[in-house]
């Protein structure tokens, strides 16, 4: 407020003027609202069968944080077209569906204007659309924030990632891993997102929550564009919806802070006088808070302690974790000397703590340009390890038969799942492994692996959030 107090007469005059503005909207205000109302609906109401299938496919008696997270954060925007170009993936062309959504909103809003000549205001519709957007964004921000507050979104680098040259990494992978090695910063980002969500849940702090949502998600949009990230559209939807919520109070904020004039905001709130209205209101709030705030946090905490939605959870071969040099390699009893251009000979191999074996060979597979997320429960479907990596490194999930000392391997990339290997393993010393058997082409191979420990100065003094499986 300004330094001068508001006198009773001035206050009554302001209230009268505000009351009139509340009940009698100007013509251009009604047109803008009609367009914005349609835009709001198209952005927050899920229009994909996949989102609704989550409710029928989810085992509600055995909930997992992936299910609740997907329901809370999914279903934003409509995909009318898919442009298979670099710009369509990361550039300006990727916003084509949002532009189409806006165009539809304008057309429908103008048709609405032609039909509706009697309405003096849309206070009730404005209230309810703000409620829908507020809770949808709030629960999504909290769900998104939990994954950073318990650092699981940008995880500690795997051994294979540490051994991949920068030139073979997608820019997005570099950015996410630069955050992953600083869990404290990731936790701070999660706190900011959760704070924005909690502020949006309270009607009195909606403006603060909307402002924080716009700033935090706007920063993520910029980062994703700079590093060719794949969540810039999702982030932009959040930032846009946050700004649209903030727009409601922007004129009053401008009047108070810039013009330094007295402000007496007057809001419309519907009355809930009937008992069933009160019960429904309380029931919906309790259900939303219970599922997306309390239960999701419990599930996320359990997942953080015992699992991870990005990296596999099945323990790998005991004491095998590490980077291995290939000292000898043979195919069909024919020894092959080291040659970086050979398409069969392994150049190196990596055993992770979990059941993943990867090796580098001069035979490039198509890069997975996703962000390695998703709601996959099976270890073989978790793509974080290979998403954004190129350079000829092949990733295999394996089942270990420790009695017969056999590894049953299957390629982790969905388009290469037909590639399988069966390799017997023999440990001649703690740092030496010999693999022998049939590769993905049914050739007989023998691979002699020697572990090569390496220190990473950038990671020294930092505590990994990768669980110990051994």
Domains of the chain: 8-306 (no CATH), 322-451 (2.40.128.280)
CA 35 – CA 75 distance, rounded (Å):
21
Provide the angle, in degrees to the nearest 10, between the axes of the packed helices 65-73 and 123-149. 140
CA 203 – CA 200 distance, rounded (Å):
7
Q: What is the pLDDT along the chain (470 residues), one digit of tens a residue?
A: 444 444 444 555 555 555 555 677 889 999 999 999 999 999 999 988 888 888 888 888 888 888 898 899 888 888 888 888 878 777 888 899 999 999 999 999 999 999 998 888 898 899 999 999 999 999 999 999 999 999 888 888 899 999 898 889 988 888 888 888 888 999 999 999 999 999 999 999 999 999 999 999 999 999 988 888 878 888 999 999 999 999 888 888 888 888 888 777 777 788 888 889 889 999 999 999 999 999 999 999 988 888 777 888 899 999 999 999 999 999 999 999 999 999 999 999 999 999 999 999 999 888 888 777 765 678 898 888 998 898 899 999 999 999 999 999 999 999 999 999 999 999 999 999 999 999 999 999 999 999 998 777 777 666 544 444 44
CA 398 – CA 382 distance, rounded (Å):
13
Residue 111 C-beta-side C-alpha neighbours within 13 Å: 7
Q: Which of these, 136, 139, 92, lies nearest to 244 by C-alpha position?
A: 136
Q: Name the DSSP class of 147.
A: H
Helix (H), strand (E) counts: the chain: 15, 9
What is the pLDDT, as a whole number, of residue 404? 95
Q: Other CB atoms closer than 10 Å to residue 415's CB: what's the count?
A: 10
What is the pLDDT, as a whole number, of residue 375? 58
What is the pLDDT, as a whole number, of residue 21? 59
Provide the angle, in degrees to the nearest 10, between the axes of the packed helices 183-201 and 206-226. 140
CA 243 – CA 23 distance, rounded (Å):
24
Is there a contact between 242 and 211 (Cβ–Cβ < 8 Å)? yes
What is the pLDDT, as a whole number, of residue 7? 46
Beta-bridge mates of residue 447 = 329, 435
Beta-bridge mates of residue 348 = 325, 360
Give the DSSP H or E segment for 148: helix 123-149
What is the pLDDT, as a whole number, of residue 57? 83
């Amino acid at each position: 407020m300004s330094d001068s107090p508001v006198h009773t007469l001035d206050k009554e005059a302001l209230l009268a003027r505000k009351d009139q503005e509340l009940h009698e909207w100007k013509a251009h205000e009604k047109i803008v609202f009609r367009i914005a109302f349609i835009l709001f609906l198209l952005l927050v109401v899920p229009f994909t069968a996949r989102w609704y299938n989550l409710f029928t496919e989810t085992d509600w008696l055995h909930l997992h944080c992936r299910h609740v997270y997907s329901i809370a954060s999914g279903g934003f925007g409509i995909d009318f077209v898919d442009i298979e170009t670099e710009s369509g993936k990361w550039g300006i062309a990727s916003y084509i569906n949002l532009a189409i959504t806006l165009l539809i909103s304008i057309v429908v809003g103008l048709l609405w204007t032609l039909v509706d000549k009697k309405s003096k205001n849309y206070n009730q519709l404005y209230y309810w659309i703000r409620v829908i957007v507020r809770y949808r964004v709030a629960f999504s921000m909290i769900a998104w924030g939990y994954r950073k507050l318990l650092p699981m979104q940008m995880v500690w680098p795997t051994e294979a990632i540490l051994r991949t040259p920068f030139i073979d990494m997608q820019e997005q992978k570099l950015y996410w891993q630069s955050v992953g090695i600083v869990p404290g910063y990731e936790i701070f980002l999660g706190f900011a997102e959760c704070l924005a969500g909690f502020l949006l849940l309270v009607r009195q702090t909606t403006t603060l929550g909307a402002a924080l949502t716009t700033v935090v998600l706007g920063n993520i949009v910029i980062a994703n564009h700079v590093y060719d990230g794949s969540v810039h559209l999702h982030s932009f939807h959040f930032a846009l919806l946050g700004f649209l919520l903030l727009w409601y109070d922007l004129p009053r904020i401008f009047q108070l802070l810039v013009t330094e004039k007295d402000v007496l905001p007057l809001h419309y709130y519907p009355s809930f006088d009937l008992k069933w209205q009160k019960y429904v209101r309380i029931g919906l709030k309790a259900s939303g808070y219970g599922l997306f705030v309390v239960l999701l946090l419990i599930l996320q905490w359990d997942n953080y302690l015992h699992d991870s939605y990005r990296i596999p959870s099945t323990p790998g071969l005991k004491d095998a974790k590490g980077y291995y040099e290939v000292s000898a390699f043979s195919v069909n009893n024919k020894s092959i000397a080291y040659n970086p251009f050979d398409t069969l000979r392994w150049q190196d191999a990596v055993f992770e703590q979990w059941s993943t074996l990867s090796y580098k060979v001069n035979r490039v597979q198509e890069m997975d340009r996703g962000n390695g997320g998703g709601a996959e429960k099976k270890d073989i479907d978790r793509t974080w390890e290979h998403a954004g990596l190129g350079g000829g490194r092949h990733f295999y999930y394996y089942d270990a038969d420790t009695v017969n000392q056999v590894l049953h391997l299957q390629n982790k990339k969905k388009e290469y799942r037909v590639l399988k290997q069966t390799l017997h393993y023999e440990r001649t010393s703690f740092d030496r492994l010999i693999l022998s058997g049939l590769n993905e082409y049914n050739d007989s191979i023998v691979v002699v692996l020697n572990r090569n420990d390496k220190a990473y100065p950038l990671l020294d003094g930092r505590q990994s959030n990768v669980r110990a499986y051994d």
